[in-house]
Every structure is written in C-alpha cells, then in structure tokens.
Structure 1
Amino acid sequence: MSKYEENGVFHPNPRPLTTAILVLDDCNTLSFAAAVDPMRAANRRAGKPLFDWQFFTATGTPASLTSGLNINGPAIAKLTSCDLLLVVAGFRLEDHATPALLSSLRRIAGQGTSIAAIDGGPWLLARAGLLDGQIATTHWEDLEEFATRFPNVNTRRDRFCISGRFATSGGAAPCIDMMLYLIGTRFGKTLAQRVGSAFLYDPLPAGSQPLTSTPRKVRRNPRLARALERMEATISEPLPIPDIAAHAGLSVRALELRFQTHLGLSPKATYLQMRLEEALRLAQDTSYPVRDIALATGFISPASFARAFKEAHGQSVRSLRSQGS
C-alpha cells in the first residue's frame, strides 16, 4: 500500500481538525472564501469548534488576493504540524512553485497530513510530485494543460476528487462542494446540510463542471479574469460594458482588445454567451418556466430570450425538454 493511500481526515471522526490554510498571491477571493467560510459555518451550526485554522503564506509576507484583500500569516516553512492543509492558489502558479514552497509541501505531506488543494492549488501539489498515481482535478480552464503536464496524475473532469489523503477541486463552487463533503463525511451529513443551507447552496454532482477549457492565457491575465468573474456574477442583471471595464481597471477599448485577443469575441458577445449557457443549464436541470429562465439570465422580454436561445442552441426550451422527457 502506498504511503498516500490512507483516508486521512476524510472518514467519520468527531475530533476537531487543526487546519492550516496556505494562501498565495493572486488567488481568487471567492475561492478563498469557499475554503474558509464552510469551516466557520460548521463551527457556528455545531455550536463548538470543529475546525481550528490559521493562515500561512509562502514567505511570511502578506498574500494579496485578486480583490486587493491582504491575508497575513507566517511562512509555510514554519508550520510544524496540522491535521489538514488547504492550499488556495490562482494565478502565476509557476512563479509560486519555488523550491522552498515545494519542499514545504513535501515535508508536510510526509508527516501524514491530509492536503486539500483549491483552484490552482492542485498544480502546486502536482509540481511537488505529491499527486503522482492519485486521482485529481483542477480548475476547468486548466484541465487539458494539467493532464498534459502531469501524465502521472489520473486527471478527472470532476468538480472535486478525493484520493487517499489528497483532495483537489476547481474554483469556488466546487470548493464548497468539497468542503461540504469533508464536513458530511467527518461530522455527519446533517451538519453538512445545515452548513449548505447557510449559504442557500445546493451542491452539484461530481462530474458536472464545464467540459470545455478556456485558453490558459486567460488565467494568466488577472484583469481579463476579473471582467469574466464580474460577468458571471451579474448574469441575471447584466451590467453595461463600461461598468465591466471599470471593474477590471481597463478602458472599454482595452477591454475590447483583450477579449478579442484571448477569446476571439467581443465583451458583449461573451456576456451573451455566458447568459445563454446558463439558460441552457436551467432548461436542462430545472423545471423553471421559460419566463423565469429568461429573467434569471437577464432577458426582460420572453420573446427576445426565445429568439436568442434558439439561435444559440438550435431549438427552443420546450423542444429541448421534450427530448429529455
């Protein structure tokens, strides 16, 4: 049996978990919150401390998230022991993969610690050689390159994966799924359901993340990623493109150039594509009336929604649903 095949923290055990959270520069704020807030909610809902966590950074200097929020903590090299290490990373993964950081990850893993990696975190575990022979996933935009770069890792298109003492997930929503799985497995499904309800969050099944990948250069462009994140967060009430540009810290012209260069579409066309992809998901996965789907994806007029949906997906919502019935 491999030394990495133990189940670690992913089995029933009422004992509280000492948790270290390694936060790296340029990680997504939502991914960071998705890792931390389920633990806070679990403590509150349980009425006792099930998770006791401390933040660490790569070198002891504050880690700056994509939102500008700074996270303070000692250097990861100073971590002596913990039950669970959460690794939260986003952009500039190769810059973060220093010999010192990879050595710390190997040392911590060698102590029998369970490690969960979020968003870009699986990339760092793979660079450290810790995922060789393991089942793993990563942010869906990076899956193809991840699988090519690390052939010894059994890469899966899942929202999250548990493989022995290692857990890997994509971005914020898959991370919540993973944390709820940890809470449910260790402390009981009832608590996990109560924590999920605290976020008004319904977990999606594993394997349901998008099956297409955006070019990795988008992931290397924080301002473009910020614009896309803003679009995703405002699908039900689309913002004017100048507002998206301002949120990303760009002029409208600069935003147009970046979208055309990296995505081959204008910001307006990309925004519409996102909304119609969400409409397709709602049409397939829910029983919402067409009018509600239209409103949920930012269409005031049901007629304009119907035309756009049929043009994008080749059939109406009614036809799509009749095929699946």
Structure 2
Amino acid sequence: MKSVTILLYDGFSNMVLSCLLEPLRAVRDQSQSALHWHIVTPHDGPARSSSGLNIAPDLACKDVIKSDLLMVVSGYGYRQHAKPENLRPLRLLTRQAASIVAADTGSWLLASAGLLDDQTATIHWGVISDFTEEFPKVRPSYERFVKHPRISTCGGASTALELMLAMISEQFGPADAFIASTMFLHDAAQQQSTGRGPNRLEGKGTAQLRQIVNRMVETIETPLSLEELAQQSGLTRRTLDRLFQAELAMSPGRYYQLMRLTHARELSTSTDYDLREIALRCGYADASALGKAFRKAFGHPIRKSRGSRPH
C-alpha cells in the first residue's frame, strides 16, 4: 500500500479522519516509505466537518488515476450524499481503487452504489437499524469492524482506529502497527496515572494492562526481567503472557522491546545524543546492541531514522 485517497463528505467527523490518517502518518514517518495520501471531495470544493472545520481537497476527483486504498469518510448528511445524482464521483474512485475502507456512515454510500450487495458490512451504531432496513441485500454486522479483501467497513472513531491498526499489521508488519498504536495507548496510560485526561482508556487497555505499561515506561533505562515485571504486578509469568496476548496480540517481551526501540527512534530524531547515549537511555549495553535490535525489528538501521529529524 503506497497511494491512499481520502474521499471526504460534508459532515464528516474530525475524530474519525484522525483515527484513519494518523496511524498511516506514524507508519510513514517510522519506515520512511513512499506512502502518501491526498484528499478529494465529491464536489471538488472544501469539505466541512461536523464541527465546522473546512478541509480543501488536494486535487479534483477526475485527476485521481488510481489508489491502493480509498477511504470513504462520511458523517452527517449521508442520505443526501447517497442520492443517485451524487454518487458519480464515488463510483469513479471505487473503480480505480485496489481496496476500500468505509468509515462512520461511509457504508451507507457504498451500499447505495450497490457495492455491498451480498456482503457483510457494518456502520456507525447509531444508524445500523436504518441501514439494515434500507439495504436488505447487505448482511449487517454488529462487529466493531468488518474486514474483507477489497472492501472493509467500520463505525466511529475507535473502530476506525482498530481497523487501521489491523490493516497496518497486515500490510507493514506488527512492528509498524505497534508504533501507530503507541500514539494512543501510551499517552492515555500516562495521563491516567498522572490524573490527567480520561479516567479510562476505551477499547484495548484495561486498568491492569495500563499499570504494567506504566511500569515499563518507568524502567526503560533499566528494563526489568519479565519475571520481575510479573511479580511487581502481582501476576504469574504465565498470566502476564496471557494478558498481553489477549489485549494486544503480542507477548510482553515483544511489547517491552518495541517500546524501548520506539523511544530510541524518538531520541534519534529529536535530540543530538549519539547512538551510545541513546542506547544507554533505552536499556541497551551499547550502540551495537541497539543497532542490531533496531534493524531486526524495523528492517533498517537507526541511523536512517536520524535523517528524518526536523530542522
């Protein structure tokens, strides 16, 4: 996946757009890949979000040649958007896309164009009853997201994020999916522990998991063994493994390592520390050990990450 087209309709949710786009931004910045995206609108003018923000398109719909992924993002006003006379841009873009994601009420538009006939799909929970009645040829699902080889669907912001993380893991690997997920999990965990932000993290991340993640953050420079981590959390090693596999589909050791390597990447792009200093700050004995672990996890040397430092 390299080229992403985002089709925005008036009334879209800023939160849904962020949950679709920010994980891709994290992957692009981490891997320094050719991943890129552009925004289009069905009328080629600015799209106005549900909160009144206007986003101008990068190009006209007719100028889109092809897309590896098309994201159809609709919120309020979906019935008007789905009128036959308004579906031409959608039909054009879907024909040129290798795969499609419909978010929020985007499924309503795809169903109106006949693209979901005889398929299982989901939509924002607030309209799923009407959706079921309106489109009898579509098999409605109450799952958080429905992923198919070509067309995937989801509801609101949290489900959009979960779908994107699943797609990133499949397309780019679990390491890049981890990088994207930490934007949300780590920040929420730290804010919760310091009395800031929401009292709980929606979706993945129970109170017990947050406590353990916080302990990992606190011990990045001097990592604990998994036995010590389990003991300090009041768990057996086996229970610790089960907790991480159940909630993050990853072993605690892998998660701990990726957390340290992510921190190393951040230090390499935002500070003037040499690699020896970065290694010590991330719990590695020397620059060589850090370099080997980083290359194995991400497929390129950490020095490549240093080239992305903002000026």
**Normalising TM by the smaller chain, what interval?**
0.5 to 0.7
Range 107-116 or range 138-147, more displaced: 107-116
How does 1:272-283 map onto structure 2 within 5 Å? none
- SS of 1:54's partner is strand
Question: For 1:124 and 1:169, how far apart are their aligned partners in 2?
Answer: 13
Question: For 1:27 and 1:59, how far apart are their aligned partners in 2?
Answer: 14
The structure 1 residue matched to 2:40, chosen from 45, 56, 61, is: 56
Count, aligned residues: 200
Partner of 1:72: 56
Question: For 1:111 and 1:66, how far apart are their aligned partners in 2?
Answer: 28
How does 1:2-151 map onto structure 2 within 5 Å? 16-49=1-34, 51-73=35-57, 74-111=59-96, 113-151=98-136
How does 1:290-309 map onto structure 2 within 5 Å? none
Contact 1:136-1:155 within 8 A present in 2 as well: yes
Question: For 2:160 and 2:105, how far apart are their aligned partners in 1?
Answer: 12
- SS of 1:55's partner is strand
- SS of 2:17's partner is helix
Q: Provide, for residues 12-70 of structure 1, a one-character-per-residue CA deviation record: whole Å limited to 9, x for no partner.
A: xxxx4211101111111101111111111111122333x21000011111001122221
Partner of 1:218: none
Question: For 1:120 and 1:33, how far apart are their aligned partners in 2?
Answer: 16
Contact 1:20-1:82 within 8 A present in 2 as well: yes
Q: Provide, for residues 221-260 of structure 1, a one-character-per-residue CA deviation record: whole Å limited to 9, x for no partner.
A: xxxxxxxxxxxxx864xxxxxxxxxxxxxxxxxxxxxxxx
Shift in Å, 1:135: 1.3
Contact 1:76-1:101 within 8 A present in 2 as well: no
- SS of 2:185's partner is coil
- SS of 2:87's partner is helix
Question: For 1:80 and 1:101, how far apart are their aligned partners in 2?
Answer: 20
Note closer, same or farther for the CA distance 1:29–1:201 as it changes in structure 2 (3 Å cut). farther
Question: For 1:25 and 1:42, how far apart are their aligned partners in 2?
Answer: 27
Letter in 1 for 2:49: L
The percentage of aligned residue pairs carrying the same residue is 35
Question: For 2:143 and 2:110, how far apart are their aligned partners in 1?
Answer: 17
Shift in Å, 1:106: 2.6
Runs of 5+ consecutive residues of structure 2 not aligned to the other structure: 188-196, 210-311
Question: For 2:86 and 2:41, how far apart are their aligned partners in 1?
Answer: 10
Question: For 1:183 and 1:174, how far apart are their aligned partners in 2?
Answer: 14
TM-score by length of 2: 0.58
Q: Provide, for residues 165-218 of structure 1, a one-character-per-residue CA deviation record: whole Å limited to 9, x for no partner.
A: 00100011100111111110011012101210122279xxxxxxxxxxxxxxxx
Partner of 2:139: 154
Partner of 2:163: 178
Specify which structure has the bigger relative contact order, considering alpha-carbon pairs within 8 angstroms and separated by 6 or more residues: 1
Runs of 5+ consecutive residues of structure 1 not aligned to the other structure: 1-15, 203-233, 237-277, 289-325
Letter in 2 for 1:179: M
Q: CA RMSD in A?
A: 2.8
Note closer, same or farther for the CA distance 1:201–1:92 as it changes in structure 2 (3 Å cut). farther
- SS of 2:67's partner is coil
Question: For 2:62 and 2:83, how far apart are their aligned partners in 1?
Answer: 12
Contact 2:9-2:47 within 8 A present in 1 as well: yes
